[in-house]
């Protein structure tokens, strides 16, 4: 298996090499990714201004599997769906929809989702998704950036103390677990493919 093949993100192995068929497949994969993100957003535990969900686990898996370009494009498509008023976000439509929801308490986290996808996708494009320690390190860093951006925006709305209490502290341990789980799952996926002679 060539180095070019081995360094591609996981999902690229299933894509046509070029042409309209590749673009169509990428669009379909991105749309499927937004459906996964919506389902993950709806699996929540109510905590307060920001609720716990499986969404950042889904983002980590998408970014590591899709790579930088398709991963970020998927997150941007997801945000565009929400901006248009589709109930794709956590606690929508009950807590609002569209742009009004996006500038609410979870606004910083929504921006952080794109940054997180960019960081993990960048690492996947460089083959770090084959190494659980490298990928886990990037995922931990991406989760930290997500929490920082979420905290920074939430602090402008409810103050720094409450933002830390409700928007950061409850999520630290769960986010560490999600990052470790995502890194293990992606690395294990490559190990299985390697056993069948795919990848390095």
| Topology given in CATH for the domain delimited by 3-195 | Arp2/3 complex 21 kDa subunit ARPC3 (1.10.1760)
Would you state the structure tokens that stand for residue 55, as one six-digit string?
Answer: 């969404």
- Length in residues, the chain: 200
Full-model pTM: 0.88
Helices 132-158 + 107-125 axis angle, to 10: 160
Residue-wise DSSP of 7-60? TS-GGGGGS-SSSHHHHHHHHHHHHHHHHHHHHHHHSEE--SSS-EESHHHHHH
Mean pLDDT of 19-30: 90
pLDDT at 140: 97
Give how far the C-alpha of residue 60 lies from the chain's centroid of Cα atoms, to the nearest Å. Answer: 4
For residues 51 and 171, what is the distance between their CA atoms, to the nearest angstrom?
A: 9
pLDDT at 4: 41
pLDDT at 46: 63
**Quick one: CA dihedral 151, 67, 176, 32, positive or negative?**
positive
- What is the domain partition of the chain in residue ranges? 3-195
Q: Is the peptide bond before 93 cis (omega within 30 degrees of 0)?
A: yes
Contact 126, 17 (CB under 8 A): no
Would you state the structure tokens that stand for residue 27, as one six-digit string?
Answer: 């669009």
Mean pLDDT of 47-63: 83
Q: Is the pLDDT of residue 199 over 70?
A: no
Average pLDDT, the chain: 88
pLDDT at 120: 97
Mean pLDDT of 45-69: 84
For residues 141 and 117, what is the distance between their CA atoms, to the nearest angstrom?
A: 12
Q: Is the pLDDT of residue 11 over 90?
A: no
Give how far the C-alpha of residue 87 lies from the chain's centroid of Cα atoms, to the nearest Å. Answer: 18
pLDDT at 7: 60
pLDDT at 13: 75
For residues 145 and 140, what is the distance between their CA atoms, to the nearest angstrom?
A: 9
% pLDDT > 90, the chain = 66
% pLDDT > 70, the chain = 91
> For the segment 158-197, what is each residue's pLDDT rounded down to a tens digit?
999 999 998 899 889 889 999 999 999 998 888 887 777 6
For residues 96 and 92, what is the distance between their CA atoms, to the nearest angstrom?
A: 6
Tell me the H-state helices in 48-198.
Answer: 55-66, 68-83, 98-102, 107-125, 132-158, 160-167, 172-195
Contact 5, 200 (CB under 8 A): no
pLDDT at 112: 97
Would you state the structure tokens that stand for residue 152, as one six-digit string?
Answer: 């920074």
> For the segment 88-133, what is each residue's pLDDT rounded down to a tens digit?
998 888 888 999 999 999 999 999 999 999 999 999 999 999 999 9
Q: Is the pLDDT of residue 200 over 80?
A: no
Q: Is the pLDDT of residue 155 over 60?
A: yes
């Amino acid at each position: 298996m060539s180095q070019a093949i081995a360094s591609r993100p996981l999902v690229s192995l299933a894509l046509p090499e070029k042409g309209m068929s590749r673009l169509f497949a990428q669009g379909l994969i991105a749309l499927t990714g937004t459906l996964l993100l919506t389902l993950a957003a709806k699996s929540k535990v109510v905590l307060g201004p920001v609720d716990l969900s499986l969404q950042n686990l889904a983002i980590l898996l998408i970014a590591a599997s899709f790579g930088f370009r398709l991963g970020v494009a998927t997150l941007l498509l997801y945000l565009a769906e929400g901006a248009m008023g589709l109930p794709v976000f956590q606690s929508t439509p009950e807590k609002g929809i569209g742009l009004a929801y996006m500038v609410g308490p979870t606004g910083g986290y929504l921006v952080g989702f794109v940054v997180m996808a960019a960081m993990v996708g960048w690492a996947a494009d460089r083959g770090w998704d084959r190494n659980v320690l490298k990928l886990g390190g990037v995922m931990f860093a991406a989760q930290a950036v997500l929490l920082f951006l979420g905290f920074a925006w939430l602090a402008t709305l409810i103050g720094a103390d409450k933002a830390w209490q409700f928007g950061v502290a409850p999520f630290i341990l769960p986010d560490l677990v999600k990052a470790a789980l995502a890194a293990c799952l992606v690395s294990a996926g490559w190990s299985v493919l390697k056993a069948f002679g795919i990848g390095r």
